[in-house]
Structure 1
Amino acid sequence: MRGHDWINTCLPDELIEEIFQRVDSKSDRDACSLVCKRWLGLERLSRTTLRIGASSCPDLFVNLLASRFPNVKTVHIDERLAISLPVHLGKRRGRDKTKLTPRRLHYSDEKSEEGDFESVSLTDNGLTALADEFVKLEKLSLIWCSDISSFGLTSFAQKCASLRSLDLQGCYIGDQGLAAVGKCCQQLQDLNLRFCEGLSDRGLIDLAIGCGESLKSLGVAACAKITDISLEAVGSNCKFLETLSLDSEYIHNKGVMAVAQGCNLLKVLKIQCSNVTDDTLTAVATSCLSLELLALYSFQQFTDKGLCAVGKGCKKLKSLTLSDCYFLSDKGLEAIATGCTELTHLEVNGCHNIGTIGLESVGRSCLHLTELALLYCQRISNCALSEVGKGCKNLQALHLVDCSSVGDDAISNIGRGCQNLKKLHIRRCYEVGNKGIIAVGEHCHSLTDLSLRFCDRVGDEALIAIGQGCSLQYLNVSGCIQIGDAGIVAIARGCPRLTQLDVSVLQNLGDMALVELGEGCPLLKDIVLSHCHQITDVGLSHLVKKCTMLKSCQAVYCPRITTAGVATVVSTCPNMKKLLVEKCKVSPRTRRRAGSIISYLCVEL
């Protein structure tokens, strides 16, 4: 019957809640909650995760959310993210004009009615309220909540025995609070202590003793008082640890080796410790036979010896990151390639002694490789990538930055051999030109993400081939000075699913390209037009009138875009969140209308 509400009549609450839980998009869930009061209540009951930025009354904010979303199991509070609430908590719209401003400093400039300073950071009281109100809480993330102390964490831990994940990044809590977590939260599996400067070995030891049977993931960074002593306790007590991330100059071989020898189930190891040497990697290779991910950052005291040991022992290794490891050479990478044939992800960043021979070995042996990143690798030549193209047929993502010896022959072989390629990012590889990118366009029909930043030999012919062969969603050709209207027009006509576009510093790009983008790419959300000297208000007007989903636009140093063009963007794009322009191009009327979304480039220094 027309007009009959079949859904609310026939479907029980449990089924509608189940439907809401399967809706991934927050905006879609919010839209569902506006249908009727019943759906609003059911959607609130089905919500299991909350993300909270900084607010003027965080403690009251927690109470308000808890009353509306009683089944929440995961809470993220990040005080780096500033938000403002439209109305004062607890008061109806129209009765109080007080505006809650975003958190800027630790203390408010204005006094509250009681004469005290208004809190703008979550306090121990708010943390206690979290424990009291969210009775099903399992995961808590407190990012840079600087007013949290051991007292609040102790109170929280005593009431949240079912807690499984705790992130305390940037929180200045002490050993007493962490010890309370270890004593009370004995189901804890994941713990992040990055930038917790108030902690020492005592707190981590107590935690390891209390949560030794459950802890699976531990992260420590910039904690000067956490040393090898507490890591030895982790190795002795946390037998089921699977993930360890360390960033400290106070940790040496002794501590990491204790974890490696005691935690045989370790699968993920990330180390940025300047005092760790080959001995540690040898211990890892001997004891951690289940290791799947190894990331080594800024290592200056170990050589190919350690990497050769990993290649011999860690046969299950799937992901390897080597960043600023100056003493590694082709020998170490060859050992990994021949020993760890299940490798799927490889990143080599700033390892200047790794060259062609090592990567050729990867191409011949690591046939399951899906992602390869080569950053600042001056010694890697076309031959190496050609070998990857021949052997790594499953490659889906390739990142190249400042690889001066890589040119068209390498990219052509990648295009012909790796036809499953979905992402190709190339930056400042000046030998790459049209020939290589044309081969990618002709063979890699699954490509959706292409970035060619400052590849000044790439021109319109390359983008024409891409437009004819690929359906891009993301394109960045910033600084490719030979690209003009013809190339972007081909993209506009061939890539209707394009959502992000960066054409900055294209001196030959004009209004025709923007008109075609407006006609062919209705899903466009983010565009960067900075330093495009030929673009005018006319082209910009055509673009924004057709691309109604635009959320972000950057148009600085575009001399032919005037105050009228900026006003057109503001008046035409209802979804615009950020507009970056010169201050002189924003009229008082435009500033009044959309001041909150306009950002200015500082040019008056």
Structure 2
Amino acid sequence: MGQSTSSVACARSKQEEAGHQELDQNKMQGKDFSFQVPDECLSCIFQKLSSVDRKTCSLVCKRWHWVEGQGRQRLSLFAQENLLSALPKLLLRFEHVTKLALKCDKKLISIDDEALFIIGRDCRQLKKLKLKGCKQLTDDGMEIFARVCGPLNKISCGSCGFGARGLNSILQHCVNLEDLTVKRLKGLYEGPSELIGPGSGKIRRLCLKELFNAQLFGPLLAGSKHLHTLMLSKNSGNWDKLLDIITEHLPELVELHMEKLQLSDRGLQAVARCKNLEVLYVVKAPECTNVGLSAVATGCRKLRKLHVDGWKASRVGDEGLLSVARACNDLQELVLIGLNATMTSLSPLAASCLGLERLALCNSETFGDPEFSCIITKCQSLKKLCIKSCPISDQGMEVLATGCPNLVKIKIKKCRGVTPASIDWLQNNRESLVVTLDNGIASTTTDLPRPLPPGANRAPRISAPQNRSPLAKARLAIVAGGSFVACTFLRWSSPSTSGSSSPAGA
């Protein structure tokens, strides 16, 4: 029995030795074991890697170079003029790209119409295209590209050279286009421009930003019957009249963002016609008052998210918020900036909006400890809370020990009445609550550490805030190195442990 066992063990050792010899022989012969992995599996592995790691792996061998290129669906290129010569071979390698970004620096010469034609001709699976800083693109180039490109459904263009005619070509020939973003389009400023039509009318998301004559998009807005999301930011012109016209034709509008527009209560009253509106941002519109907000609340009863920034005008207050409390019972997120809300409106708001989960109150002179206590006591569904530049104090923070049972995170910014001592007390009473404090003295936000169990010792932690001055950084370095310096001095002054007698002992 012993001999048979030893013979089996001897056979196994011989097999292992033979296997190691074969492995060493394969290494010596330069055999690539990755060939046992199918191309599909290798491509899936590459897709799990970061962009840097993918580029590194593509340089290992010709097969990895080819497989990585065939499996890449997103590609970002520096769209300088010398890109034209490399485009044919580059697009042959990345022939399955569905999302392409072409970006060029403002001070350099970008790609021209010929390069864009090659992209439209060779990228047959392209669905998303982003153009930024391509000043050499013209209306003629965009028209040719629109005729030869694949099934595009999303286009974003910023600081480019073409204008209204180029956009109309895209809208007419790209029949699958659903998402359009236009920012700082240079071609719209040169001479008289034609109106921008609806094209196929399939646009569902439209973003217009920093346009001098965004009124040209009126026909596109009115003709996009299926528009779901509309974002308007820093566009000149009177938007009251345009909103009065287009809102009658947008029955499916769900999300509307308006920032730094010439907008008054008349525009908000026009928005109130959008009965299916669920998300509304009114940011930095000082001419809007309680009348406009009340109209929106009455007309848009399905609101889930509401952001109102009064921009220090103080023309929206309790009256408008009371209308929101009465009509918008499905509200889940509410952000109020520069509004002087009091108990008169906050108490009904907290009582009626039972599903409110996220709340932010910023730059309010009337939101003090009583208002804070009201919110914490009545908003039982609240999960995230942000208070900034409001006159609350340590006394008001005490209610957080038992209120808002579902609260997960709270941010306190630039509220000078709240001290770190109250935050420490709060974390000792609610360890699961994440608290962020910036009392306005430090230049950055500091996440306070979680309290340790009784009897445990915490190692000192010094975090270096951002945006510090050079003098502050030097002081911080001295403080951080204090423990090392102290230990060094202590070692120098203590008796030697090598066995030799110290001067003190002599």
TM-score w.r.t. structure 1 length? Answer: 0.62
* Distance (Å, rounded) in 2 between the aligned partners of 1:210 and 1:341: 38
Q: From the superposition, tell whether residues 389 and 127 of structure 1 become closer, same or farther in structure 2 (CA, over 3 Å).
A: same
Kindly state the Cα deviation for residue 315 of structure 1 after the two structures are TM-superposed.
Answer: 0.5
Matched, 1:218 2:126: no
Structure 2: segments with no counterpart, 5+ residues? 1-36, 486-506
* Distance (Å, rounded) in 1 between the aligned partners of 2:438 and 2:317: 28
Matched, 1:295 2:207: yes
Matched, 1:427 2:401: no
Q: From the superposition, tell whether residues 240 and 200 of structure 1 become closer, same or farther in structure 2 (CA, over 3 Å).
A: same
Q: For 1:436-475, what aligned pairs fall within 5 Å after superposition? A: 436-468=345-377, 469-475=379-385
* Distance (Å, rounded) in 1 between the aligned partners of 2:433 and 2:483: 25
SS in structure 1 at match of 2:181? strand
Contact 2:268 / 2:293 at 8 angstroms: preserved in 1?
A: yes
Match of 1:571 in 2: 460
Q: For 1:340-419, what aligned pairs fall within 5 Å after superposition? A: 340-352=250-262, 354-363=263-272, 365-403=273-311, 404=313, 405-419=315-329
Kindly state the Cα deviation for residue 531 of structure 1 after the two structures are TM-superposed.
Answer: 2.8
SS in structure 2 at match of 1:508? coil
Q: From the superposition, tell whether residues 445 and 124 of structure 1 become closer, same or farther in structure 2 (CA, over 3 Å).
A: closer
Kindly state the Cα deviation for residue 134 of structure 1 after the two structures are TM-superposed.
Answer: 7.8
Q: Considering Cα pairs closer than 8 Å and 6+ residues apart, tell me whether 1 or 2 has the greater RCO.
A: 2
2:122 maps to a residue whose letter is G
Contact 1:437 / 1:462 at 8 angstroms: preserved in 2?
A: yes
* Distance (Å, rounded) in 2 between the aligned partners of 1:76 and 1:280: 44
Q: From the superposition, tell whether residues 532 and 198 of structure 1 become closer, same or farther in structure 2 (CA, over 3 Å).
A: closer
Matched, 1:588 2:491: no
Match of 1:545 in 2: 451
1:189 maps to a residue whose letter is T
* Distance (Å, rounded) in 1 between the aligned partners of 2:302 and 2:240: 23
* Distance (Å, rounded) in 2 between the aligned partners of 1:236 and 1:192: 20
* Distance (Å, rounded) in 2 between the aligned partners of 1:413 and 1:271: 35
Q: What is the number of equivalent residue pairs in this alignment? A: 427
Matched, 1:73 2:73: no
Q: From the superposition, tell whether residues 590 and 208 of structure 1 become closer, same or farther in structure 2 (CA, over 3 Å).
A: farther
Q: 2:83 aligns with which of 162, 174, 179?
A: 174
Q: 1:259 aligns with which of 170, 173, 193?
A: 170
Contact 1:471 / 1:494 at 8 angstroms: preserved in 2?
A: no
Q: 2:187 aligns with which of 270, 275, 296?
A: 275
SS in structure 1 at match of 2:348? helix
SS in structure 2 at match of 1:230? helix
Q: From the superposition, tell whether residues 585 and 370 of structure 1 become closer, same or farther in structure 2 (CA, over 3 Å).
A: same
Match of 1:505 in 2: 414
Kindly state the Cα deviation for residue 217 of structure 1 after the two structures are TM-superposed.
Answer: 0.9
Q: From the superposition, tell whether residues 171 and 254 of structure 1 become closer, same or farther in structure 2 (CA, over 3 Å).
A: closer
Q: 1:236 aligns with which of 142, 147, 164?
A: 147
SS in structure 1 at match of 2:156? strand
* Distance (Å, rounded) in 2 between the aligned partners of 1:200 and 1:521: 58
Q: 2:438 aligns with which of 529, 532, 552?
A: 529
Matched, 1:324 2:298: no
* Distance (Å, rounded) in 1 between the aligned partners of 2:168 and 2:283: 30
* Distance (Å, rounded) in 2 between the aligned partners of 1:130 and 1:585: 49
* Distance (Å, rounded) in 2 between the aligned partners of 1:337 and 1:499: 38
SS in structure 1 at match of 2:388? coil
Which has more radius of gyration?
2
Structure 1: segments with no counterpart, 5+ residues? 1-44, 49-65, 79-121, 138-159, 534-539, 549-567, 594-605
Q: 2:222 aligns with which of 312, 316, 320?
A: 312
Contact 1:243 / 1:269 at 8 angstroms: preserved in 2?
A: yes
Kindly state the Cα deviation for residue 294 of structure 1 after the two structures are TM-superposed.
Answer: 0.8
Kindly state the Cα deviation for residue 230 of structure 1 after the two structures are TM-superposed.
Answer: 3.2
Q: From the superposition, tell whether residues 275 and 378 of structure 1 become closer, same or farther in structure 2 (CA, over 3 Å).
A: farther
Kindly state the Cα deviation for residue 333 of structure 1 after the two structures are TM-superposed.
Answer: 1.0
Matched, 1:485 2:374: no
SS in structure 2 at match of 1:457? coil
2:460 maps to a residue whose letter is S
Match of 1:565 in 2: none
Kindly state the Cα deviation for residue 275 of structure 1 after the two structures are TM-superposed.
Answer: 3.1
Q: From the superposition, tell whether residues 200 and 229 of structure 1 become closer, same or farther in structure 2 (CA, over 3 Å).
A: farther
2:130 maps to a residue whose letter is G
Match of 1:191 in 2: 100
SS in structure 2 at match of 1:330? helix
Q: From the superposition, tell whether residues 433 and 465 of structure 1 become closer, same or farther in structure 2 (CA, over 3 Å).
A: same
Kindly state the Cα deviation for residue 342 of structure 1 after the two structures are TM-superposed.
Answer: 0.8
SS in structure 2 at match of 1:269? strand
* Distance (Å, rounded) in 2 between the aligned partners of 1:510 and 1:494: 20
* Distance (Å, rounded) in 2 between the aligned partners of 1:370 and 1:579: 38
Contact 1:453 / 1:480 at 8 angstroms: preserved in 2?
A: yes
Contact 1:274 / 1:301 at 8 angstroms: preserved in 2?
A: no
Contact 2:79 / 2:111 at 8 angstroms: preserved in 1?
A: no
Q: From the superposition, tell whether residues 123 and 133 of structure 1 become closer, same or farther in structure 2 (CA, over 3 Å).
A: closer
CA distances 1:177-226 after superposition (whole Å, capped 9, x unpaired): 33334344333221111346664123222111112x42211100112333
Q: For 1:40-189, what aligned pairs fall within 5 Å after superposition? A: 71-77=45-51, 128-129=59-60, 132-133=63-64, 137=68, 160-168=69-77, 174-189=83-98
* Distance (Å, rounded) in 2 between the aligned partners of 1:579 and 1:569: 20
Contact 2:110 / 2:133 at 8 angstroms: preserved in 1?
A: no
SS in structure 1 at match of 2:359? strand
* Distance (Å, rounded) in 1 between the aligned partners of 2:248 and 2:77: 40
* Distance (Å, rounded) in 2 between the aligned partners of 1:531 and 1:131: 57
Q: 1:334 aligns with which of 244, 252, 258?
A: 244
Kindly state the Cα deviation for residue 493 of structure 1 after the two structures are TM-superposed.
Answer: 2.6
Contact 2:418 / 2:439 at 8 angstroms: preserved in 1?
A: no
Q: From the superposition, tell whether residues 492 and 423 of structure 1 become closer, same or farther in structure 2 (CA, over 3 Å).
A: farther
Kindly state the Cα deviation for residue 292 of structure 1 after the two structures are TM-superposed.
Answer: 0.4
TM-score w.r.t. structure 2 length? Answer: 0.73
CA distances 1:348-388 after superposition (whole Å, capped 9, x unpaired): 11112x2111211222x212212111111111111221122
2:232 maps to a residue whose letter is L
Q: From the superposition, tell whether residues 262 and 130 of structure 1 become closer, same or farther in structure 2 (CA, over 3 Å).
A: farther
SS in structure 2 at match of 1:372? strand
